[in-house]
Amino acid sequence: MADPLGTPKPSEAHTRRNTASRVIGTVGEVLVTVAVILALFAVYQLWWTNVAASASERQARSQAESLFAGGAPATWPDGVPPIGEPFALMYIPRLKDRVWGTPVIQGVERPQLAAGIGHYPQTAMPDEPGNFAVAGHRATNGEPFADFERLRDGDKVVVRTSQSWIVYELKRDRIVTPNDVWVIKPQPFHHDPLPSDKIITLTTCHPRWTSTQRWIYWGVQVAATPASGPAPSEVS
């Protein structure tokens, strides 16, 4: 004889099964929704930010070229461009597919880095004594430095301003932490200084898809010619 207290009635067992099915179904729907959201976010990061950055870069390049068209030295109230203003174009032959006529914009916040290469405002301008330090994304948002690992000592970096063509030669690189702000000082190396008082610093995130470290490449200025003359051989 079955124990009437130990065996659930058919209606109770059916209710429990229905409840379990509803819970499983709800959890499944939530997981599918989360997966769709993550997929859409990945598409946004990997594709749409580059599409938007491409449009912003074209606009910034046009602004820089308009600045060059007058032929007169660019002037600003404080002697430096305001945040968000494009003031130069950069060419890196080794990274020609990524950095070729890429606008250099004052500032290193999200809007500037989404439109080109950002210039650390507290550092020197091109062709000035000190450290002309810039930053670029390595992944998403235009990713001008996506191929940063291809750079080698001796590679050239060419910067075009309203007045000059400036050529830098890369000398050394290092991977540092985000807190190592000494890398953009006027002369980062005290005991083994770079052989020039006009240097360039390229900075980007490392590893490529994270921001836990920074990859730095330093170079020295090796030539400067008037913008009214022929372009350097590296870009002509």
Looking at the annotation, which residues are catalytic?
Answer: 137, 205, 214
The tokens describing 102, both together, are 């890429």
Residue 227 dihedral angles phi and psi, to the nearest 5°: -65, -25
Distance CA 41, CA 118 (A): 25
- The CA-atom distances, in angstroms, between 85 and each of 82, 112, 115 are 6, 9, 10
Q: Is residue 60 within 8 Å of residue 86, measured between CB atoms?
A: yes
Q: Is residue 131 within 8 Å of residue 186, measured between CB atoms?
A: yes
Beta bridge partners of 204: 215
User: Exposure of 132 by Cβ count < 10 A (0-12 exposed, 13-18 middle, 19+ buried)?
Assistant: buried
Residue identified by tokens 């600045």 is 67
